[in-house]
Every structure is written in C-alpha cells, then in structure tokens.
C-alpha cells in the first residue's frame, strides 16, 4: 500500500495558513462535537475540521472497504482496530478528495456545507476510549536527573535501566483532552525534616513533557509482539502532559512505584498524527550502551525527529517557553517499548495508550519537567510577568506543542493546553 497521502507536492483546495501544523500531508484523526451537537470522527486540514461520518454517508469513500458506521462513533477504537491497511486507504482517499485538482467536493457547496467546519465551531473530544494506559520512563537524561534528585547522585540509573524499557501501569480514567482544566491534587505529604506525614494540597505540582502512542489490537492473549512487527501495531501519536505531584510521589513511590502522585490527571492533544504521516521524519535513536537481549534489538531508523516545546503562562499573562526538547532523544524507541510490553504475553487492545516518559534532552533548557528545570526548586524559573516558579501555581496554564519539519513539509500535533485550578473539596463539603 503506497503512502500516496504523504506526497509533499500535493496542495489542497482547503486553505492552509502558513506554518499550519495540518497541511494535506498530515491527515490526523480525532473526534469532535459539531455545531449541531453531533459527535463524529474527523480529520483536519488547516483550520478546517472535516466530518468523516458525513463524508462517508455522502459516498466519498466508495471503493474503500468500510462499514457504514465506522466514522459515526464517539471513539476511533473500531477504526483503529481495522488495521494499517484501512488507515492507509482512508488517508489516501482523503488526500484525493481534498486535492486541489479534484473538483468533486471542491465544487459542491451543498456537500461542503455539510462536511466542513471551522475549528472554532467544534469541540474536540478524547479521540479514543483508552482501555489501558502505560507510562514508560525512556529518556536516559530524565531517569538520570530524577535518580540524582530522588535517590543517589552516584548511582542515578538503577541497574535494570539500560537493559529494558522500564514502565508502570497508569490510570486511563483521568486522561483528558486539551482545554479541560485540572484541579491541584491533595494527598499525603512528608515535609522535609518532619517526623510524620500531613494531608493537604500538593505544593510541588509539575508537568511532564511526553508523547504517547496509540495501539491497535492484534496479538493474542499470551503472544509476544516481535520487535520487527511492533510498528504495525502503532496507529499514531499525540502530545502528552503527564501531570505529577512530586511531593506525593516522593513519599509514596517506594516500593511499588507511582500511584496518587500521577493518577489524578494526564492531558493529551486531541488529533492523533499517524505513524505514516511521520514517515519522512524517521531518524536513528541513541545507540544502546549495553548489549541488548535479542527481543529488544531493533534495526533501522526507529526514532522520529519531533521538535517539542513547553510554555507556561500565569493567570491573564503571556506564555513563556521554558523547555525545548525533541522526541529523538528517547533512549528506548516505541518498537522496543511495545516488544518489551508484550514479551510476557500481555494483551494489547485497540486504543491502548503508551506514554514515552518525560522527554528530557541533554541540555538544561531541554529538561521536560519543572522538577528538572528548577532542579527540585533550587533554581526557580522566571515567567514573563516577572514572577518566579519552583513548581506550578493555581491558574497557571501549561502548553505543549510539537512539530516535524523538513524542506518539503511541516507536520504538527497542534497543542495540549491546560489550566490548573485550585483543589476541589470532597462533594459533601462544598
């Protein structure tokens, strides 16, 4: 199946603003609420959202083997479950329908009025029902920095880290799309020097700059996914902010790992950019520093050159970029992560989400969390309004954006932007 949709020379009759993340070569997938309060699966070109359910009903996908209701759903899980061949046929067909040289929909105002929406008329939803969410810990820089601060500067990386992509199982119930505010969590804290814990709002609320990939189902219960096939199970990627309460985390995480310091909220960008659309941006990842077991040996370019940025805006103020990093710094690639995740036979379903872990780069301005940027609060950041941050304050807005760029094309993810609100009290106390 050729990736016809990636042709960098194609232009669309839908206007695409300069520097848009969504040229006709992107064709991401998402779910949105239309101005008529209908939930549909869609894609996006420039600042125009396209209702794929309506487009299918009008017959524009003739020749592509799809069930009638495949896009008339409130999640992408069934579409993703159809597999890579279907994703490619659909992306290719969308590229054809919106090609500047194709008059069919371009010259049909009645149909255009049905299927096209301005981005400001719609409301993006979570794109998939996330059954299971796993968070890796695959940036060596991040793992080293956290190990230095939380444990022992001389043995920052634990002995297993260079031999396997370490991860924990997270919680999918609290994953929300961009634009949904989150409340500061409360929990057990053990203040420095105290002899017993207290209960209260986290004083060390942090973001984590991550990306996450969404899987399709396919392995059998008990059956590992071999590394050379792993990418066939990856539908695409989103930006991912894995909110973390460092004080809760620090007190609770030994011996079983992250729990309430992590599971109160995670935010994702609403458009899933397919692995196919990212094909031109493949690069080699870091070389393994230890010999790997055969099931983790990956060949070829398995990493992607994705520029990432984080900004923070105080209430009513302008945003300041606090971090610039790149997905390509990740030590363990997605194929290795998925091969490792299933090496014991763990079943992967359509719509499962796997976080990369915080994507810190090698330099201090590329660290992907406040914990690292301020070195546990010892070097506060200055925002645009002159105020300082050791960690995040209520009403701060954190935004992550990401894009890939070469001489031919710019493919982006949009953003995941979230405001922090004060803690909510228990229901009966409000």
SS3 at position 167: strand
- Closer Cβ to Mn ion, 87 or 213, answer by number: 213
Q: Return the range that interacts with Mn ion (CB under 5 A); candidates 95-103, 237-245, 271-279, 414-422.
A: 237-245
Q: Based on CB atoms, which residue is closest to Mn ion, 242 or 372?
A: 242
Q: Smallest distance from the beta carbon of 244 to Mn ion, in angstroms? A: 7
Region binding Mn ion by CB under 5 A among candidate stretches 26-34, 134-142, 281-289, 313-321? 134-142
How many residues sit in the footprint of Mn ion (CB under 5 A)?
3
Q: Which stretch binds Mn ion (CB under 5 A): 2-10, 14-22, 208-216, 411-419?
A: 208-216
- Residue closer to Mn ion (CB basis): 32 or 240: 240
In terms of DSSP bridges, do strands 303-304 and 198-201 run parallel, antiparallel, or are they unpaired? unpaired
Terminal Cα-to-Cα distance of the chain (whole angstroms)? 57
Per-residue 3-state assignment (H helix, E strand, C coil) for 146-166:
HHHHHCCHHHCCCCCCCCCCC
Span of 44-52, 238-246, 294-302, 413-421 interacting with Mn ion by CB under 5 A: 238-246
**Token reading at 91:** 């992306």
- CA dist 237 and 145 (Å) reads 25
Please tell me whether residue 276 binds Mn ion under the rule CB under 5 A.
Answer: no
Is 208 a binding residue for Mn ion by CB under 5 A? The answer is: yes
Q: How far is the CB of 411 from Mn ion (least distance, A)?
A: 24
Task: Pick the stretch among 132-140, 212-220, 247-255, 359-367 that binds Mn ion (CB under 5 A).
Answer: 132-140
Run of H or E residues at 28: none
- Cβ of residue 265: shortest distance to Mn ion, in angstroms? 12
Q: Can you spell out the DSSP letters for 294-353?
A: GGG---S--EE--EEEEEEE-TTS--EEEEEEEGGG-SS-HHHHHHHHHTT-----TT-E
Using the structure block, give the residue that is written with the tokens 């997270």.
170
| Residue number, 50 or 306, with CB nearest to Mn ion | 306
Question: Could you tell me how far CA 88 lies from the centroid of its own chain?
Answer: 21
Give yes or no for residue 415 binding Mn ion (CB under 5 A). Answer: no
- Name the residue nearer to Mn ion (CB basis): 135 or 415: 135
* Closest CB 426 distance from Mn ion, rounded Å: 27
Instruction: Count CA atoms closer than 13 A to 302's CA, side-chain side.
Output: 25
**Bridge partners (DSSP) listed for residue 272:** 29
Judged by CB, which is closer to Mn ion: 28, or 357?
357
Q: Which stretch binds Mn ion (CB under 5 A): 42-50, 224-232, 236-244, 281-289?
A: 236-244
Q: Return the exposure string of 47-72: e unless at least 16 CB atoms fall within 10 Å of the residue's CB, then b.
A: ebbbbbbbbbbbebbeeeebeeebbb
Q: Which residues inside 301-340 make contact with Mn ion, applying CB under 5 A?
A: none
Q: Is position 142 annotated as part of the catalytic site? A: yes
**Residues within window 18-47 making contact with Mn ion, judged by CB under 5 A:** none
CA 429 to chain centre: 35
Q: Residue 175 or 348: which CB sits closer to Mn ion?
A: 175
Closest distance of CB 355 from Mn ion, Å: 5
Residue number of the CB atom closest to Mn ion: 242
CB of 105 to Mn ion, least distance (A): 42
C-alpha neighbours within 13 Å on the C-beta side of residue 34: 22
Catalytic hit among 21, 56, 142, 403: 142
Please compute Rg for the chain using Cα positions: 22
Q: Are 409 and 8 in contact (CB under 8 A)?
A: yes
**CA-to-CA dists, residue 254 to 150, 204, 249, angstroms:** 11, 18, 9
CB closer to Mn ion out of 264 and 281: 264
> Of residues 242, 252, 352, 396, which one binds Mn ion by CB under 5 A?
242
HSE-up (13 A, CA, CB side) for residue 65: 5
Minimum distance between the CB of residue 323 and Mn ion, rounded to whole angstroms? 15
What is the rounded CA–CA span in Å between residue 355 and residue 357?
6
Min dist. Cβ of residue 175 to Mn ion (A)? 12
Supply φ then ψ for residue 268, to 5 degrees.
-125, 155
Pick the binder of Mn ion from 135, 247, 352, 415 (CB under 5 A): 135
Q: Under the rule (CB under 5 A), what is the footprint of Mn ion? A: 135, 208, 242
Question: Catalytic residue positions?
Answer: 142
């Amino acid at each position: 199946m050729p990736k016809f949709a990636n042709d960098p020379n194609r232009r669309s009759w839908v206007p695409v603003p300069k520097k848009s993340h969504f040229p006709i070569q992107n064709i991401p997938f998402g779910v949105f609420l239309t101005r008529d309060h209908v939930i549909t699966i869609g894609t996006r070109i420039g600042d125009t959202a396209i209702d794929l359910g309506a487009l299918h009903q009008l017959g524009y996908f003739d020749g592509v083997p799809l069930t009638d209701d495949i896009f008339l759903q409130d999640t992408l899980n069934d579409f993703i479950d159809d597999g890579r061949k279907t994703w490619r046929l659909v992306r290719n067909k969308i590229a054809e329908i919106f090609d500047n040289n194709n008059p069919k929909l371009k010259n049909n105002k009645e149909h255009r009025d049905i299927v096209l929406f301005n981005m400001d008329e719609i409301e993006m939803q979570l794109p998939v029902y996330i059954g299971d969410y796993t968070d890796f810990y695959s940036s060596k820089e991040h793992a080293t920095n956290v190990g230095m601060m939380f444990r022992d500067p001389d043995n920052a990386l634990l002995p297993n880290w260079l031999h396997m992509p370490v991860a924990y199982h997270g919680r999918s119930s609290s994953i929300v799309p961009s634009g949904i505010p989150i409340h500061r969590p409360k929990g057990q804290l053990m203040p420095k020097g105290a002899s017993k814990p207290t209960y209260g709002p986290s004083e060390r609320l942090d973001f984590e700059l991550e990306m996450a990939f969404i899987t399709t189902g396919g392995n059998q219960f008990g059956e590992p996914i071999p590394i050379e096939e792993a990418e066939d199970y990856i539908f695409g990627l989103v930006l991912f902010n894995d909110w973390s309460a460092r004080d809760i985390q620090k007190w609770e995480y030994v011996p079983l790992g992250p729990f309430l310091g992590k599971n109160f909220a995670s935010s994702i960008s609403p458009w899933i950019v397919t692995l196919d659309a990212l094909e031109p941006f493949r690069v080699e990842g870091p070389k393994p520093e230890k010999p790997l077991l055969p099931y983790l040996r990956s060949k070829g370019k398995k990493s992607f050159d994705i520029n990432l940025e984080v900004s923070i805006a105080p209430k009513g103020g302008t945003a300041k970029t606090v971090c610039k990093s790149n997905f390509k710094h990740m030590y363990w690639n997605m194929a290795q992560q998925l091969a490792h995740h299933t090496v014991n036979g763990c079943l992967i379903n359509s719509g499962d989400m796997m976080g990369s872990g915080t994507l810190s780069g090698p330099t201090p301005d590329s660290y992907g969390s406040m914990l690292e940027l301020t070195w546990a609060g010892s070097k506060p950041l200055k925002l645009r309004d002159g105020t300082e941050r050791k960690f995040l304050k209520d009403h701060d807005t954190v935004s992550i954006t990401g894009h890939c760029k070469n001489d031919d094309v710019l493919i982006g993810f949009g953003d995941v932007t979230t405001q922090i609100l004060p803690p909510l009290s228990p229901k009966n106390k409000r």
